[in-house]
């Protein structure tokens, strides 16, 4: 993952038979996993993925998927990240909104 200047993360993933279904479209679980991983990379380090909502818009096809996650809100206790995956010609494949919550601090030894 590469950090973005605008508070996010992005990655490009080549499409091949290893992530495709029988007709050559990228598997939905792979798409969701890529979106979740990129959202986690975009969120502040002290946050953990709590929930997400996904909308599958079109099949993942072409030679490369472009995944981009952008932090919409970041506070002390939670963050919201929007992630979009596009395929061939910039066609939107999946949209994801994820919620991230602050991890509990570890107890101090005393």
User: Residue 38 sits in a domain of what CATH number?
Assistant: 3.10.129.10
Query: Does some domain include residue 109?
Result: no
Query: Does some domain include residue 85?
Result: yes
Query: Does some domain include residue 44?
Result: yes
Query: Does some domain include residue 47?
Result: yes
Beta bridge partners of residue 98, listed in sequence order: 52, 81
Query: Does some domain include residue 10?
Result: yes
When divided into structural domains, the chain yields a total of 1
| pTM of the shown model | 0.88
Query: Does some domain include residue 110?
Result: no
**For the segment 36-83, what is each residue's pLDDT rounded down to a tens digit?**
999 999 999 999 999 999 999 999 999 999 999 999 999 999 999 999
Query: Does some domain include residue 108?
Result: no
């Amino acid at each position: 993952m590469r950090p973005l200047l605008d508070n996010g993360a992005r990655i490009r993933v080549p499409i091949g038979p290893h992530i495709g279904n029988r007709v050559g479209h990228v598997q939905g679980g792979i798409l969701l996993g890529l979106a979740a991983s990129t959202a986690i990379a975009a969120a502040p380090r002290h946050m953990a993925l709590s929930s997400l909502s996904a909308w599958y818009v079109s099949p993942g096809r072409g030679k490369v998927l472009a995944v981009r996650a952008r932090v919409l809100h970041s506070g002390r206790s939670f963050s919201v990240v929007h992630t979009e995956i596009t395929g061939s010609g910039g066609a939107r494949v999946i949209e994801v909104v994820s919620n991230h919550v602050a991890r509990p601090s570890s107890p101090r030894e005393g």
